[in-house]
Amino acid sequence: MNLQLFMGKKNFDCGKAERWFKERRVKLQIVDLGKKPLSARELDSVLQGVGIDALIDKESKAYAESPARFSLDQAFIRRILFENQALLKTPILRNGKRATVGFCPSVWQAWLDEERG
């Protein structure tokens, strides 16, 4: 299992997600979006897993100031998300082609159980 935890601005859910995996001794790659943004391919993979609406942090100041909030054009919104990753809701956990956004321990546990057989 190749898990990647993408964390943006430090928030409570990012810390909880990191702790959740540490407590279970699960190895994962932690990526700070401030230092290394999602690549186009990574963003597309996450979008396929969760959808564009789940990925946008609609409570953020960045979203309030973004032209994405006025558009229904998915390609335009994707481009805006790629260019301004402060709009992304975090934490984002990627497991191959599957992904979650936010704190989702029930989904993560199901993935771990599935992996262990």
SS3 100: strand
Question: What's the pLDDT score for residue 8?
Answer: 81
DSSP 39: P
Question: What's the pLDDT score for residue 66?
Answer: 95
- Looking at the DSSP bridge assignments, the partners of residue 98 are 95
Map out the domains of the chain as residue ranges. Answer: 3-56+89-116
In this predicted model, what pLDDT tens digit does every residue of 16-69 receive, in sequence order? 999 999 999 999 999 999 999 999 999 999 999 999 999 999 999 999 999 999
**With bands split at pLDDT 50, 70 and 90, how would you rate the model's confidence at 10?**
confident
Domain 3-56+89-116 bears CATH identifier 3.40.50.300: no
SS3 8: coil
Question: What's the pLDDT score for residue 116?
Answer: 86
Question: What's the pLDDT score for residue 19?
Answer: 95
Dihedral angle of Cα 67, 72, 77, 79, to the nearest 10 degrees: -100
In this predicted model, what pLDDT tens digit does every residue of 91-115 receive, in sequence order? 999 998 899 999 999 999 999 999 8
Question: What's the pLDDT score for residue 117?
Answer: 80
User: Quick one: average pLDDT of 57-84?
Assistant: 95
In this predicted model, what pLDDT tens digit does every residue of 18-28 receive, in sequence order? 999 999 999 99
Task: Kindly report whether the peptide bond that precedes residue 91 is cis, defined as omega within 30 degrees of 0.
Answer: yes
Question: What's the pLDDT score for residue 1?
Answer: 75
